[in-house]
Structure 1
Amino acid sequence: MKNNLTSSTTSTTAQQALVNKQRMSRTDCFTRLPYEMVEEIAAHLPTSSVLSLRLISPAFTPPFYSQIFWATRFQASRERGFLFKIWQGPRHRDWRALYYLTNSTNLPQSLQNRKRVWDLVEPLGQEISLEWADSSTRLRTEG
């Protein structure tokens, strides 16, 4: 009798999980998007936001296994932008592992200082746009 009760409980739990999954797929608009679009959305969000979205929508789980997603974390305007020289090295690397290796607790003092300076200067770069002035805008000096 105990085995029958266990198997019926297991099948009821499995059925409930299937019903919940079907209900979620109807209400979760992200599951209807192509993977490439979900990955693009994830690329423009902070990692912590994508972690939160992953709890809400199963569509945001696959980017965490994508090297493309993790490589975007090292772009200039992202969390690991202070490691811009990383792009000069070999192109084939494990971006996810590198992301975890470069978290605040693992950084040596020199990289912590670079990150601190980067965090101070990077917002200024967005405000100041340096462009060459054309000849019509140059100041004319007399005598």
Structure 2
Amino acid sequence: MAKHDALRAAPPAKKIVYPYDALDDLLYDWFCWESGYSAARGYSSVDKSFAMAGSSRQWQGTSEILEETVTKWQMEQVEACIDELDPDLRLAIRIEMSNRQGPAVWRNPRAGSLQPVMYAEAKAKIAPMLQKRGVVYE
């Protein structure tokens, strides 16, 4: 019987399940918003004669325009709060959001197995900062 026990495969590793709340959704939205940002280049990407031209909003409803404006403001506030965090806590948020966006292959070299603890600490520190800036998430 011991021979069969030795051949039995080890049970699969348990996946860590984090407590999930509205702040996680807000941070994920910020991460996706930030991923769409392209850094400034050393040269202009627009023609000078059309530099001030913008697309018309005539086909958007008032609610769409308002939601777009509020979302942009909210993401800028989240970004400012994240920039105020310690580098280790910023990294913990970025690693967690990268893993939630796709395959969970990203690891935090500074935290190691304490990544869930670092992420929880980052959430605890950023929540009052967001509240102070008037960002509401529910």
Q: Shorter-chain TM-score category?
A: under 0.3
Name the TM-score, length of structure 2 as normaliser: 0.25
Q: Which of these two proteins has the greater Rg computed from alpha carbons?
A: 1
Bigger relative contact order, structure 1 or 2 (CA pairs below 8 A, ≥6 apart): 2
Name the TM-score, length of structure 1 as normaliser: 0.24
